[in-house]
Structure formats: structure tokens, C-alpha cells
Amino acid sequence: QLQLQESGPGLVKPSETLSLTCTVSGGSISSSSYYWGWIRQPPGKGLEWIGSIYYSGSTYYNPSLKSRVTISVDTSKNQFSLKLSSVTAADTAVYYCARRVVIVGAFDIWGQGTMVTVSS
Amino acid sequence: DIQMTQSPSSVSASVGDRVTITCRASQGISSWLAWYQQKPGKAPKLLIYAASSLQSGVPSRFSGSGSGTDFTLTISSLQPEDFATYYCQQANSFLLGFGPGTKVDIK
């Protein structure tokens, strides 16, 4: 069945750019039925939607993060990626990638999550 | 932006209890509402989509209702594996958002 796996550095320095990749296996990222998204969760806190991308490259970002976020898709590699610039300690969180079903709007499949710490 | 609130923020309950969690949207979202369960150290799990549709494989003791701005998640008979945090999520537009969560713990 379809699986998602996040990858990237677990430690990022303040003011630098956080970069994560989500690899989709067991299915195609190019399906018209799904969006692909990033969600994060600071330690002990709730879920925050970061943004979503369609296989065509259309993107939608959380307004509170929009100035610092870029999400891209590589259909040839069945991957999508997150870049978050100018990070601070407030960006320390578990970052999840997930599949969102177009017709119902819900995230039905999630990656296991990856912890990213922002620290010098 | 559409803001989501949940109540209560936490609830203590016993096995077998009926538990109801409420989610409210700051503006109408029709039935574009999902519920998730999250256990410590794990990714969220989709329980309910489109306000009242049960995700495949989810036990029937979970149910959702509501439309517009007010929604509820009900667990009809709480089981030991249901102790977790529950989040609602609106999908009315391309800009998504989650509620702050409701923690269900053991009384």
C-alpha cells in the first residue's frame, strides 16, 4: 500500500533553511485525486498545516508561513519537498508529510514524521 | 482565515463511557470537516471525513455529525485504545486548519 517517508537533516541552525523531502512509494504522486501536504507539530503542541501541492505544481500555503515556505514536487522521483527559510527555535517541530484526498479534503495517509531541531 | 476551536481541551473518562468532543469553525464550512486521533509519538490517524463519513477500518463506535459551523465527534463506548488526543480539521478552502486538540485521558 502507499507509504510516505520524510527525510532530511534533524538539526538546522538559526537563520538557515530547513529542507525536507517526502518520498511516496506504492503509488503515483501524479494522481489527480490527491494533494500532498506538510504539517508540523512543535513539542507538546498541536498540529499546524504548512502547505499543500498538487502534482501539477499548484501550491497553497499557510498565510502565517507563506513568506518563508516553498513546496515543490518532482514527479520523476515521486517526491515532494519543503523548504522553510530563516528558521528560528519556534520552527522546532516534528514535520509530517501526508496525502490529502481532493474530494473529501482530509489527510488519509501520513508519514511517520521527522523531528527537526533549530539550534546553533 | 477560518479559525477552529475545540471543547473541551481535555476530558477524563472511563472505559465504557460515551465521550463527545465539539469543534466549531469561525465561519461556515459546510461538511468540510475531518477528525483525527493521535497517540503519543505517532502520526495522526484519520477517523472521520466529510463531517460524518467513517474512514475505512475505523471502529463504528466513532461517529461524527454537524455541518456549517458546529461539529461533534462521539465515541459511543470508550475503549482502552481510545485514550489519545483528537483534532478536527477544516477543508473548506485550499487554506486548511486544525483545531487545538482535545486530550482524552483515563479517569
DSSP A25-71: ESS-TT-TTEEEEEEEE-TTS--EEEEEEETTS-EEE-TTTTTTEEE
Q: How far is B24 from chain A (nearest CA, A)?
A: 16
pLDDT at residue B106, as a whole number: 87
Query: Which chain A residues are closer than 8 Å to B38 by Cβ?
Result: 47
Query: Which chain B residues are closer than 8 Å to A104 by Cβ?
Result: 34, 49-50, 53, 91
Report how far residue B45's alpha carbon sits from residue A107's, in angstroms, rounded to the nearest whole number. 9
Percent above pLDDT 70 for chain B: 100
Measured in degrees and rounded to the nearest 5, phi and psi for residue B8 equal -75, 175
pLDDT at residue B74, as a whole number: 98
Nearest CA-CA partner of B6 in B69, B48, B50:
B69
Percent above pLDDT 90 for chain B: 94
Q: Which residue has the higher pLDDT, A104 or B87?
A: B87
**For range B56-82, the mean pLDDT:** 97
B102-106 vs B10-13, strand pairing mode: parallel
Report how far residue A112's alpha carbon sits from residue A33's, in angstroms, rounded to the nearest whole number. 22
**For range B23-46, the mean pLDDT:** 97
Which cell numbers hold the place of B35?
Answer: 477528525
**For range B42-48, the mean pLDDT:** 98
Mean pLDDT by runs of 10 across the 120 residues of chain A is: 97 98 96 96 98 95 97 97 98 98 96 98
CB distance B46–A106 less than 8 Å?
Answer: yes
Give yes or no for residue B31 having a pLDDT over 90. Answer: yes
pLDDT class for B46, splitting at 50, 70, 90?
very high
CB distance B43–A112 less than 8 Å?
Answer: yes
Q: CB of A100 within 8 A of CB of A36?
A: yes
pLDDT class for B1, splitting at 50, 70, 90?
confident
The closest CB to that of B44, out of A101, A105, A110, belongs to A110
